[in-house]
Structure 1
Amino acid sequence: MPEALERKEYGTFMFAFLSFLTGIIAGLGALVFRVLIAFFHNLLFLGKLSLSFDANVHTPASPWGGWVILVPAIGAVGVVYLTKNFAPEAKGHGVPEVMDAIYYNKGNIRPVVAMVKSLASALCIGSGGSVGREGPIAQIGSAFGSTLGQLLRMPPWQIITLIAAGAGGGIAATFNTPVGGLLFATEILLHEVSVKTLVPVIIATSTATYLGQLFFGAHPAFVIPALETPYFRLDNPFVLLAYVGLGVILGGVTALYVRSVYAFERFFDRYIPRNDYLRHMAGMLLVGLISFILLKTSGHYHVEGVGYATIQDVLTGSMGTEAILLLLCLLKLVATALTLGSGGSGGIFSPSLFIGATLGGAYGIALHRMLPGLAISPPAFAVAGMAGLVGGATGAALTAIVMILEMTLDYNVVIPMTVTVAFCYSVRRHLCRQSIYTMKLVLRGHYMPESLHSNVYDLKRAKDIMETRRGIVPASTTLRDLACLVREAPGVPWFLVADSNELIGIFSRQAALEAILTQGDSVLAADAACRSYITINGNIPLYSILAHLRLAHAEMAVVTQGNPVTVESILGVIGKEEIAGIMAEAVEIFPG
């Protein structure tokens, strides 16, 4: 109780300033994170000290030759050391840990997580791990928002809002997607969607995006020359049906993708259970082998790191046949599952883009080959595939659509992309109910809400919830006489014990009957009545009632009008039954 009273809720303008500060840190965090990736990548892959790195350009062949296979395994040693000794929650793809903190730890994230996650994920990506940047930067921004909220003793709802602002800002700065970052925070992290929570996130994402554009440029993440002319013809319904087919296929692959990550995790836990170093090194050695084989057979590493260079090749139509794209799709899925399943640190967004682009591109090439008369553009199907797999894997369908739109700046893709995402998400939900984020938490017994509901029961006031049927019992009444009163009033759920018009205790109907059985007939009602109650006025909303009950450790609330409180001034009583009833009404409106 003292801890709760010490918390301070900040006003609109101060909270807006703190959101602005969170956006600045998120933008700077995105810059530092990219610099760290460049440093580790150039040092480990190319053997040089440099901070210059363009993820959209293929990495040249390493001077280490075949020994480059060991580079991801060497990076694995550092990743395990950091996560094992300083912040175990930095292992994995990051976003589930943020969700866990929001729903199971009142938004508390340790400050050290931001630093460890930055180093571990940068080392994992830089050394060739098949993971992305969005999970780490989301966790980094969230950790700062949580730390700031804890230092300023904010209430949990403001801490959680800053967490969402930090995560959304980091993603917005990383991908140059301000609206996508906002939607990510809304769909995945925010526990409540209202003006008081959305405005701070908007401020943070806008600020972080501006800083990201200063550092990385204002251009979109991917350039798609093949989409400079419209490719989606509304007068041909068969093209729309083709995107439906793509969505269905993507849904199956997405379910396989989600399950593969955790299947590999169980595999490594089962066969290498006691040595985190050996487990992660084994997984990364296989990733290094896959990358080296691809270098020798195709000229590029392809699956190492975020894989944006290969995505760019698919979007420009320079990747060859559908067989090559399908092979890359499969190898990227395996490499990502190996990286995360063995204990790596990094996000799943970039691998999802890669898998979706290669699968969508292969589908488009095959369709164009079979139906040359249709206006089929393989890069268009690649873009739709990117959105479909991201939306299906993360469960954030709107985020996927808007982010891919912002990353390509081609509005023509909206209709086919929306169709693809919808079918992919539906099929994935049918085959695998959990997203790649929630699956990790469900496996540890922490369930996440599947939707955001309007809390209609919170609109109810005490006068709407209270039970007005009550009986008055003199303090000198024995429990034997009370039993008679209870039997004579079968419809009365509450009995108020009064002494000279002053309330001194309360019996529920059930409590009165139990007292008679356990305490004896001659005990006075005044001695057996419950005194664990609070008094409130009729206009108090339900959420305030629950807060007051919790702080006072009370069992019920007595609704009164006027002062002083007398038996005549009591309007009704609110107990567990009344609260449960109003909750049940809400369930009828929003069934689970």
Structure 2
Amino acid sequence: MGAVAFRRLIALFHNVFFAGRFSFVYDTLQHTAASPWGVWIILAPAIGGLGVAWMVKNFAPEAKGHGVPEVMDAIYYQNGYMRPQVVLIKAVASSLNIGSGGSVGREGPIIQMGAAFAANLSRWLRLEAWQRYALIAAGAGGGIAATFNTPIGGMLFAVELMMPEISARTLVPVMIATGTATYVSRLFLGHHPAFIVPPLHIAATASTSPEAFFAYLLLGLIIGLVALLFMRSIYWFEDRFDALPGNYYTRHVLGMLLVGVTLYLLLRTTGHYFVEGVGYATVQDVLNGRLEASVLLLLVLAALKLLVTSLTLGSGGSGGVFSPSLFIGATLGGAFALVAHGVDPSLELNVITAASLGMAAMVGAGTGAAMTGAVMIFEMTGDYRIILPLIVVGSVAYATRRLITADTIYTLKLTRRGHDVPESRQSNLYLDLPAREFVSHACVQVPVDAPWPPPGLRRFSPAGLPHLLLVDAHGAIAGVVPAQRVAGQWRARGLETRALALDEWQAVAADTLIVDLLGSVRREGAETFLLGRDGAAPTVAADVEAILVWSDVVQAAGLPTRERMHGGTAGT
């Protein structure tokens, strides 16, 4: 329902700004007619941008940008917390930006809106952490599934980018959400894909020649490089606008004025706005073969879409990068097919097939969701024969970008903040082992008032010093001196053992799993654990089986230190 309402809101703003009428009906696959405002249409994106800047600055700064990085940041750095006002502000700001002519997509906003709604619903229901993250992924995946009518693609998007844990208990809720979201959107928006791909043109890929296969490799390489250029361009423009004098309002209005000028010049020279809004009409033109007459026009449109998207987002706009990626991929793929056919007329590569491949590759390389891009295009075409070139072009494009930088268009924004996001989701077997498996030092009990060094240490070599457990006359635990601290003060004189003790310890059962200890480190800040006998947490010194220091686990299992964990490092 959120996706349906969001699309209706985009239609309303678009009709008001470009036609001066109040209507919720807007077919994105049809080009916008020339506005009755004439040259004054240049001001439409700027007026819309002024409203976006006011909403973002005063109500939800996190609604600025393309949305998905904020969701990833909330998952890995905010414990899944997202402010409730993000849902409304993101919807209105992004629909205003898109409807007034800004070159951004609607997928990023609906992902952020779905995730924010899920995050606040999970807080209201007081769900456990793993349930909260699964629900956020379900909200994000459901949003993109409803927008494109691609339930499997929506599920894979959640898996590739949103889910810290991938298991049956997290996948099933996402599957339910994407399936339900797609069904609801079909009731209101119709049972058809985002683009209408002519199926007959794809049949040629069933008999791919070696020459065509080589062309797929080359197309993937080109798309991978352009995806890198696209992601770098957005943040380059952002830095340039931030360096300009003035404030957020003046910078964003300036950027949107430049977008307005571009739209008007395109209308005067070609008859269409082409790069305005989500740009689906242009993509559909490429898929229908209406732009096959000019390679130059396709390349110019790809370059202009990259430019106006960078202007929109770099100056502070609100909207996604998914649709611009599809636009650039389709136009580049179409141009590539025309050039390739000119070089070798016998080559089995047509514009429609190449545009479809370019769309999948651009999404996969730029966002890092390689499987999502391939599967979504497959769902849109419904033709299994496109799978082989989809795999080749998408994989080569992703690999090309990945060889140059590990960051995607989403994670680069977080990297610039100093927030790393793990690239992989994997099962760490160490997390399911009990704490006693990581004990690497002996434990010696000494009186709390013992001099330094205590007499019991004399039988240990400097290379194998133990942890010290300080106890009082009644057997109560008074403190802990980890082996690392013992080694550091081994040759010191004139100290009291009590002065070296830590009081930041926690008593746990010896069979406590490391994954639960990791939670304790983050929650309590303790780094030293007293392991109890007989499956219970110790209460007196006689109950202590061993002492475990978190650094011992770090060395054995490669897990993050306490400082790195609180800094939000990748892998936690």
Asked whether 1:424 is paired with 2:397, we answer yes
Task: Give the structure 2 partner of residue 238 of structure 1.
Answer: 211
Question: 1:123 is matched with which residue?
Answer: 96
1:303 corresponds in structure 2 to: 275
Once structures 1 and 2 are overlaid, which stretch shifts more, 235-244 or 168-177? 235-244
**Shift of residue 151 of structure 1?**
2.3
Structure 1 range deviating more: 480-489 or 385-394: 480-489
Aligned mate of 1:579, from 541, 553, 572: 553
Tell me the secondary structure at the aligned position of residue 232 of structure 1: helix
- 1:62-461 superposed matches below 5 A: 62-225=35-198, 227=200, 230-234=203-207, 236-272=209-245, 274-319=246-291, 320-461=293-434
Q: 1:46 to 1:547 in 2, by over 3 A?
A: same
Residues 490 and 471 of structure 1, relative CA distance in 2, 3 Å threshold: farther
Q: 1:62 to 1:578 in 2, by over 3 A?
A: same
1:10-21 to structure 2, matched below 5 A, reads none
Q: Does structure 2 conserve the Cα–Cα contact (< 8 Å) formed by 1:471 and 1:492? A: no
One-letter amino acid of the structure 2 residue matched with residue 536 of structure 1: V
Counterpart amino acid of 1:299?
Answer: G
**Equivalent residues of 1:494, 1:506 under 8 A apart:** yes
Aligned with 1:479: secondary structure? Answer: coil
- Conserved 8 A contact 1:173-1:205: yes
User: Aligned equivalents of 1:203 and 1:290: distance in 2?
Assistant: 43
Instruction: Indicate the larger mover: 310-319 or 370-379.
Output: 370-379
Contact 2:533 2:543 in 1 (8 A): yes
Deviations 1:160-183 (A, max 9, x none): 222211111111101101111111
Per the TM alignment, residue 485 of structure 1 is displaced from its structure 2 partner at its CA by 2.3
Give the SS at the match of 1:106: coil
> 1:547: how far off?
3.0
**2:313 alignment partner, SS class:** helix
Q: CA deviation at 1:497?
A: 4.1
Per-residue CA distance 1:51-107 (angstroms, 9 max, x = gap)? 111101111111112221221111111111111111111111111111111111111
Corresponding position: 1:35 with 2:11: no
TM-superposed CA distance for 1:486, in Å, is: 6.2
Aligned position for 1:8: none
2: CA distance between counterparts of 1:226 and 1:323?
A: 26
Given candidates 10, 23, 28, the residue that maps to 1:55 is 28
Q: For the Cα contact (< 8 Å) 1:227–1:410, is it kept in 2? A: no
Of the candidates 502, 505, 508, which is equivalent to residue 536 of structure 1?
508
**Separation (CA, whole Å) in 2 of partners of 1:489 and 1:334:** 65
SS at match of 1:506: strand
Give the distance between the partners of 2:271 and 2:379, measured in 1 at CA. 31
Alpha-carbon distance in 1 for matches of 2:510, 2:132: 30
Q: Is the 8 A contact 2:208 2:348 kept in 1?
A: no
Aligned residue pair count: 560
CA distance 1:90–1:585, shift in 2 (3 Å): closer
Distance 1:80 1:288, change over 3 A: same
Higher alpha-carbon deviation: 441-450 or 248-257: 441-450
* In 1: Cα distance, 2:345 partner to 2:437 partner: 66
TM-score by length of 2: 0.91
> Is the CA contact (8 Å cut-off) linking 2:441 and 2:483 kept in structure 1?
no
In structure 1, distance between residues paired with 2:500 and 2:408: 52
Residues 206 and 386 in structure 2, CA contact (< 8 A), matched pair in contact too: no
Residue correspondence of structure 1 range 513-592 to structure 2 within 5 A:
520=494, 523=496, 525=497, 529-549=501-521, 551=523, 553-562=525-534, 570-584=544-558
Cα distance in 2 between the residues matched to 1:358 and 1:300? 15
Gaps of 5+ in 1: 1-27
Cα distance change on mapping 1:440 and 1:489 into 2, 3 Å: closer
Residue 352 of structure 1 contacts residue 390 of structure 1 at CA under 8 Å; is this kept in 2?
A: yes
Please say if residues 434 and 512 of structure 2, whose CA atoms lie closer than 8 Å, have aligned partners that are also in contact: yes
Offset of 1:254 from its aligned partner?
1.0
Structure-2 change in CA distance of 1:545 and 1:351 (3 Å): same
Whether 1:509 and 2:483 are equivalent positions in the alignment is yes
Deviation at 1:483, TM superposition (A): 7.5
- 1:549–1:557 contact (8 Å) kept in structure 2: no
Deviation at residue 231 of structure 1 after TM alignment: 1.3
Give the superposition deviation at 1:430: 2.9
Rounded Cα–Cα distance in structure 1 between residues aligned with 2:456 and 2:390: 69
Q: Is the 8 A contact 2:76 2:421 kept in 1?
A: yes
Q: Mean alpha-carbon deviation: is it higher for 274-283 or for 102-111? A: 274-283
What's the offset of the Cα at 1:366? 1.4
Deviations 1:233-260 (A, max 9, x none): 4451111111000011111111111111
On the 8 A contact 2:197/2:380 being kept in 1, the answer is: no
Q: Residues 514 and 415 (structure 1 numbering): CA distance in 2 closer, same or farther, change over 3 Å? A: closer
Of 224-233 and 527-536, the range deviating more from structure 2: 527-536
- TM-superposed CA distance for 1:480, in Å, is 4.2
RMSD: 2.6
Instruction: State the shift of 1:537 in Å.
Output: 2.7
Counterpart contact for 1:250–1:356, Cα < 8 Å: yes
Equivalent residues of 1:244, 1:420 under 8 A apart: yes
Q: 1:458 to 1:248 in 2, by over 3 A?
A: same
Deviations 1:318-366 (A, max 9, x none): 1122111111111111111111111111100001000000000010111
Taking structure 1 as reference, are residues 499 and 88 closer, same or farther at Cα in structure 2, changes over 3 Å only?
closer
Opposite residue 434 of structure 1, the aligned amino acid is: D
Deviation at 1:586, TM superposition (A): 10
Are the counterparts in 2 of residues 142 and 167 from structure 1 also a CA contact under 8 Å?
A: yes
Q: Which deviates the most, 409-418 or 477-486?
A: 477-486
Letter paired with 2:23? S
Q: Is the 8 A contact 1:168 1:201 kept in 2?
A: yes
Q: Is the 8 A contact 2:465 2:487 kept in 1?
A: no
Inter-partner Cα distance in structure 2 for 1:142 and 1:246: 34
* One-letter identity of the residue aligned with 2:74: A
Distance between the aligned counterparts of 1:531 and 1:215, measured in 2? 61
Relative to structure 1, the CA distance from residue 500 to residue 245 in structure 2 (aligned partners, 3 Å threshold; closer, same or farther) is: same
TM-score, normalised relative to structure 1:
0.88
Secondary structure of the residue aligned to 2:326 is helix
2:53·2:316 contact (CA, 8 Å) conserved in 1?
yes
What residue in structure 1 maps to residue 564 of structure 2?
A: none
**Percent identical:** 47
Contact 2:333 2:358 in 1 (8 A): yes
